[in-house]
Amino acid sequence: MKTLFYLVTATAVLALAVWAYRQNYETQARLKEVDGLHAEIADLRGRASMLRAEWAYLNKPERLDDLANLNFDRLRLLELGPGNFLRIDQIPYPEVPDLAAALEGGDE
């Protein structure tokens, strides 16, 4: 009976050692994966920062004004100023048909 107890105990210890060994390597693999993701995130943040800087440069009003003047013959873009805006009561809206009357007339 003692031998069976020792055999079961040794088997359990061996099984736990194999499990711990696998868990250790799986954990190391996941840590490497997380490190790779952190590096990728840092790279993407750097690229996003560069793209924001490029977008800011491309949308500089002076640059856009120069481009509009340079391509005026083809695009016919006019300078944006206060005269380009209307008050809300000056905007011509299309006439909207009376929906209730249209529905009443459709029942007949």
Residue 33 has pLDDT above 90, yes or no: yes
Structure tokens at 25: 């390597």
Radius of gyration (C-alpha) of the chain in whole angstroms: 37
Question: Percentage of the chain with pLDDT > 70?
Answer: 96
Domain ranges of the chain: 8-61
- Is the pTM for the entire model greater than 0.85? no
**End-to-end Cα spacing for the chain:** 98
Q: Average pLDDT for residues 20-49, to the nearest whole number?
A: 97
Chain centre to alpha carbon of residue 69:
35
Mean pLDDT for 91-98 is 81
